[in-house]
């Protein structure tokens, strides 16, 4: 358990302190909630590498995901509950359990638009990395 706690703390610290590229510097603003936001992300590794997904975080606590392109284009689902935790002014962690049994936990760094996360089900576990943007 201590090793797992250390790993999560290390990942969050690495995501939180990365340098912001010039393209996103103007977007720096403090967010107090992700509720109502639609976030589009793409991982470069794992089973969904190269596929863009949108996630809409609803005020009622549900999350709607949609595959925008790739092999799963058009697939979507509404999951009952998500969690979003503000780590600091520029870093959030988002997590949910899908009805299919898949889980996704992602740390979003708004300073450099990097996403680092973990996806799993009852048989597999994947570490994920990629990028994201807020659609609205």
Classify residue 12: in a domain, yes or no. yes
Residue 48's nearest CA partner among 111, 109, 106 is 106
Residue 23 counted as domain residue: no
For residue 103, give the CATH number of its domain.
Answer: 2.40.128.20
pTM of the model: 0.77
Within-domain flag for 28: no
Secondary element (H or E) of residue 107 = strand 103-109
Integer Cα distance of 104 and 102 in angstroms: 7
Q: How far apart are CA 126 and CA 20, in angstroms?
A: 26
pLDDT in tens, 125-135: 999 999 999 99
pLDDT tens sequence across 68-104: 999 999 999 999 999 999 999 999 999 999 999 999 9
| In a domain? residue 48 | yes
Residues 6+ apart with CB under 8 A from 9: none
Residue 57 domain-assigned? yes
For the chain, how many structural domains are there in total? 1
Please check whether residue 29 lies inside any domain of the structure. no
User: 116 burial class (0-12, 13-18, 19+ CB within 10 angstroms)?
Assistant: buried
């Amino acid at each position: 358990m201590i090793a797992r706690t250390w790993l999560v703390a290390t990942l969050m610290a690495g995501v939180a302190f990365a340098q912001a590229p010039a393209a996103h510097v103007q977007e720096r603003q403090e967010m107090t909630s992700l509720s109502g936001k639609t976030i589009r992300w793409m991982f470069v590794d794992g089973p969904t590498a190269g596929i863009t997904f949108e996630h809409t975080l609803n005020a009622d606590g549900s999350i709607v995901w949609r595959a925008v392109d790739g092999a799963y284009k058009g697939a979507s689902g509404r999951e009952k509950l998500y969690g979003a935790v503000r780590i600091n002014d520029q870093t959030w962690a988002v997590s949910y359990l899908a009805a299919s049994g898949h889980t996704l936990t992602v740390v979003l760094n708004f300073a450099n638009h990097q996403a680092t996360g973990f996806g799993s089900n009852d048989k597999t576990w994947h570490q994920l990395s990629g990028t994201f943007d807020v659609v609205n």
